[in-house]
Structure 1
Amino acid sequence: METQNYKNHKKFYPPHHFIYLPVLILLEILGVYKIFDDSSHQLTWILFSIVIFLLFYLAIMLRQHYALGLQNRLVRLEFKQRYFEIFGRRSDEIEEKLKFDQIAALRFTYDDEFKELLYQALHENISGDKIKKSIKNWHPDLHRI
């Protein structure tokens, strides 16, 4: 497996991203084309296009909503645990001062950089993306959904 870093840390689910969604897009294009091409069955093609659009919309929204919601909760729990392990105290006050993108970005750091980048996030309010770009020794997250 390739070493994880800023450029390759996003994850795709091939059946969803490269088969199911492209097929729905092609069917939607076909349906819209047929609305104008086949006037004798125009209502049928309009309904077909609406159904395909709804399937496409639901596939994207439900998959993302459930996976991201759960993943966000786990990222926050990992931050709390890690903060406690490093500093020996609860992170509630610190966590309230950080935006989620900052907390999420800090998970890609090892402990030595975690302290430095956490300080910058708190005092300089650097973004999650800037935190990721500042990481010198990337700690991969190989268990993402």
Structure 2
Amino acid sequence: MKEQSYENHTRVTPLQHYIWLPLSFVLLLTTAIYGTYQFVKHGFSMQLLLLFAVTVLAIIPGMLARIYALSLQDRLIVTEEQLRYFMLTGNRLATRLTKPQLIALRFASDEEYVELADRAVVEELSPDEIKKSVKSWRADHQRV
């Protein structure tokens, strides 16, 4: 596995990003075009309504699965980072850090973590600025 860094830390899931998303977009676009054509030519029909409903209902579960997984993982990362800060310092992490900042801090090594977390509070660093400030990258290969 390639060593993770700021440049390559984002994760692409081929099935999600290259198959499901494009096919969902094509399905939605095709349904909209076909539905518009049929509506203009023949007017409203229950079949068109059902076609749109089935299309939307086919796409929503995939979106929700991704959203729920990311939301849960974000909550876990926040808890892990709060515990990590406490283990390194014996103090609680500043409550002014936002969830995106905490998620970005997970890439910092233990040696630079406390200083970077404190700096993020004082300087109000963005998540991207936090990631760019990391000198010794701590990989996260388990991100959904």
Instruction: Compute the TM-score of the two structures, normalised by the length of structure 2.
Output: 0.82
Q: Is structure 2 residue 68 aligned with structure 1 residue 66?
A: yes
- Distance in 2, Cα, partners of 1:95 & 1:73: 16
Residue 97 (1) aligns with residue 99 (2): no
- RMSD in angstroms over aligned alpha carbons? 2.2
The 2-side partners of 1:32 and 1:101 are apart by: 36
On the 8 A contact 2:94/2:121 being kept in 1, the answer is no
Q: How much has 1:41 moved relative to structure 2?
A: 8.4
Segments of 5+ residues of structure 2 without an aligned counterpart are none
After superposition, residues 1-145 of structure 1 pair within 5 angstroms as 1-38=1-38, 39-40=41-42, 43=45, 44-60=47-63, 62-87=64-89, 89-91=90-92, 94-145=93-144
Q: Larger deviation: 11-20 or 34-43?
A: 34-43
Instruction: Using the aligned pairs only, state the percent identity.
Output: 34
Gaps of 5+ in 1: none
- Higher share in helix: 1
Hey, what's the Cα distance between the residues in 2 that align with 1:41 and 1:12? Answer: 42
- Per-residue CA distance 1:35-73 (angstroms, 9 max, x = gap): 24343586334431332124323421x123321221122
Contact 1:5 1:140 in 2 (8 A): yes
Paired positions, count = 141
Q: Which amino acid aligns with 1:107?
A: R
Q: Are the equivalent residues in 2 in contact too, given 1:106–1:114 (CA < 8 A)? A: yes
